Amino acid sequence: SSSGSVVTLLDYGAGNVRSVRNAIRYLGYEIEDVRTPKDILNADRLIFPGVGAFASAMDVLTKTGSAEFVRQYLLLFQFCWICCGSYKGLILIIILEFVMAEALCTYIENDRPFLGICLGLQLLFESSEENGPVTGLGLIPGVVGRFNSLNGFRVPHIGWNDLQIAKDSEILDDIGDHHVYFVHSYRAMPSNNNKEWVSSTCNYGDDFIASIRRGNVHAVQFHPEKNVGLSVLRRFLNPKSQGSKKPTQGKASKLAKRVIACLDVRTNDKGDLVVTKGDQYDVREQTEENEVRNLGKPVELAGQYYKDGADEVSFLNITGFRDFPLGDLPMLQVLRHTSENVFVPLTVGGGIRDFTDANGRYYSSLEVASEYFRSGADKISIGSDAVYAAEEYIKTKVKTGKSSLELISKVYGNQVIADLVFDVLALTQICIHAVVVSIDPRRVYVQGPNDVQFKTIRVSKPGNKDFTVFGFTIVREFAFFPLKILLCEQKVQMEKNMLGISFKWLYVPKVNGGREGRSIGAYELAKVVEELGAGEILLNCIDCDGQGKGFDIDLIKLISDAVSIPVIASSGAGAVEHFSEVFMKTNASAALAAGIFHRKEVPIQSVKAHLLKEGIEVRI
Ligand code: 1PR
């Protein structure tokens, strides 16, 4: 191939760079990986995506010779081994650690074509506040700091936001007022000292730097490998052919509410991997054959939803709790194929836990998650295992650091810096946002708030599959309390109707696909998983699942008010109005639906159009 179609990529192999690779290939370019510093100096154009431990490398270099240095290296080795699964990655990292920084500085100082992404932008600054100050490359004046979640803005900043263009930056010319995808907890701020670099800003509580440009050196805080971001990549890769446009000024920038399409995936009785959909988690048809409901093929449907404007696509491997996902290779294939053509964030969940296979080979949850990331996932979601971890934590008040949630959010999340590898922002940026906890609660009656040790709330809507006894509505399904209470409840309800007494509900999360009730409330679970490192919560509701009667507003309000990480509302969407309702009445950051999209009852475009009409910020 001619060198004109080759892009040099500086990648540690440690994180989810696959989507950047896919985007570059999609645009018709080949990728050459940096193996030695010479590869940097010889590059025609260099892309440095925002994952990996480069900033930590700088930190390590400053500590050469100390005992701390040795300790950190040992930990780094472990980290590489787990994440890369090979010595190749390890050797690459050693090279990177020692000499890449210099080559990279020379390359940038010589004004060679460079595109930094996310962390690749932050590293150009002087330092990071986190556990610091920690020195960066120092090419741009300024300090990288954490978003402040106190003023009501959820951290991490996840989702689609538009830009305020500060100066002509050619590569942003096609963005116009479209939203671009951000996912980060740290940001650099514009100031008089770095004014000459800043090409756009974005507002999330504060105005922060969304992109910089000087000569041929570009960097963006957002992800150009996602959706309209591809135009940025395209312009960077081929600046000459595209001509210059007058950049459109984005309107006042605001984080868009996300609409997510969810695909529950499992193998049917014939052995085909299908998208299915439950009715309160029961995915079998109510026919004699009792077949698994089949609503289509995962890769095709995901591609369709991307075209229709989904802001994210989630895959839930719903039998992952019993079938080991790394044995379930079709799911990994689904991810690989989907990520080649779908340029919105992909989440995958199901079966992320420690596992010993039939041959006695042990896999850690981290290995399972890493395999999902390597196959194209941008985020992973943990269900059952997070419940076990939370129960253990509530019981012992000790963070063992060993649960899948803690381990994965350490390696792909924020705390890694503090207590595992190094104290730099590098690994923070990989993915504090990469670990979603999926909560599957079901309503259970109690008579009053003091009847159980968990948080209860008064609900405004009765349950779905109710039935009537003596003219009073009671809930048929209850997983947590004995029938006696149900009968009591009936009595209370009668009194209520007569005396105006209202009563409370409790949300009990379920594990193993909703089959087993646990003694923990959804509220407690949400609080604890936030503490244990979750970057986002996917909040389902078994009662509402597949019913099409709307989201469980009470539950979503309870949880989204309780935590400061983003909450995805799920279960029950049946009409466009349900989406505006959940965004107006709760602090959900995103709304997820499955059935209405699969059955083509409501297209994603109509949901977006409706939200826009209602004055809710969405990505169009
Ligand atoms: O416990 O880590 O293996 O994760 C299992 C994952 O699989 C969890 O995220 C759990 O929610 C999910 N899951 C397990 N069993 C089922 C099932 O349906 N039998 N599906 C299941 C969860 C619920 C939502 C659904 C929304 C929207 N599905 O994902 O898409 O409720 O549906 P709707 O719009 O049609 O109402 P682990």
Q: Quick one: pLDDT at residue 490?
A: 30
Residue nearest to atom 31 of ligand 1 (CA): 571
**Do residues 276 and 292 make contact, with C-beta atoms less than 8 angstroms apart?**
yes
Top pLDDT among 36 and 498 is at 36
User: Which one of 284, 439, 545, 602 would you pick to mutate in the ligand 1 pocket, going by the greatest count of ligand atoms within 8 A of its CB?
Assistant: 545
**ipTM score of the complex?**
0.98
- Residue 345's φ and ψ, nearest 5 degrees, are -60, 140
pLDDT of 87 over the 50 cut: no
The architecture that CATH gives domain 258-434+570-613 is Alpha-Beta Barrel (3.20)
Tokens representing 50 are 């925002």
Q: Is CATH 3.40.50.880 the classification given to domain 3-142+209-242? A: yes
Residue 594's alpha-carbon distances to 169, 486, 616, in angstroms, are: 39, 31, 21
Residue 440 has pLDDT above 50, yes or no: yes
The percent of residues above 90 in pLDDT, for the chain, comes to: 44
In sequence order, the 6+-apart residues with CB closer than 8 A to the CB of 450 are none
DSSP labels, 67-128: HHHHHHHHHHHHHHHHHH-SHHHHHHHHHIIIIIHHHHHHHHHTT--EEEETHHHHTTEEEE
Q: Which is the closest atom of ligand 1 to the Cα of 440?
A: 11
Token representation of residue 160: 């689609």
CB-CB contact of 97 with 88 (8 Å): no
Q: At what angle do helices 553-562 and 576-585 cross, to 10 degrees?
A: 40
Residue of higher predicted confidence among 483 and 385: 385
State the closest ligand 1 atom to the C-alpha of 439, by its place in the atom list counted from 1.
Answer: 11
pLDDT tens digit sequence for 95-131: 455 567 778 889 999 999 999 998 789 888 887 665 5
Residues 6+ apart with CB under 8 A from 402: none
For residue 99, the model assigns a pLDDT of 66
pLDDT of residue 342: 97
Asked whether the beta carbons of 602 and 161 are under 8 A apart, the reply is no
* Secondary structure (3-state) at 251: coil
- For the chain, which residues make up each domain, given as ranges? 3-142+209-242, 258-434+570-613
Interhelix angle for 404-411 vs 365-374, to 10°? 50
281, pLDDT greater than 80: yes
Helix, strand, coil in percent for the chain, rounding step 5: 35, 25, 40
Ligand 1 pocket: which residues have CB below 6 Å?
262, 264, 277-278, 281, 283, 316, 318, 320-321, 349-352, 381-385, 438, 440, 513-514, 540, 545-546, 570-573, 593-595
Compute, in angstroms, the gap from residue 579 CA to the centroid of ligand 1. Answer: 19
456/534 Cα distance (integer angstroms): 23
Please choose from 281, 316, 597 the residue to mutate so as to test ligand 1's pocket, defined by most ligand atoms within 8 A of CB.
Answer: 316
135 touches 59 (CB < 8 A): yes
* Burial zone of 89 (CB within 10 Å; 0-12 exposed, 13-18 middle, 19+ buried): middle
pLDDT tens, position by position, 165-219: 998 889 999 988 889 999 888 899 999 999 999 999 999 998 999 999 999 999 9
Give pLDDT tens digits for 521-538: 889 999 999 999 899 999
Catalytic site residues? 118, 223, 225, 264, 440
- The backbone torsions φ and ψ at residue 14, rounded to the nearest 5 degrees and listed phi first, read -95, -25
pLDDT confidence bin for 429, thresholds 50/70/90? very low
Cα 197 to Cα 202, 215, 229, 329, 598: the distances in Å are: 15, 10, 20, 46, 46
Q: Which residue has the higher pLDDT, 528 or 71?
A: 528
pLDDT given for residue 219 in this prediction: 97
CA of 545 to the centre of ligand 1 (A): 9
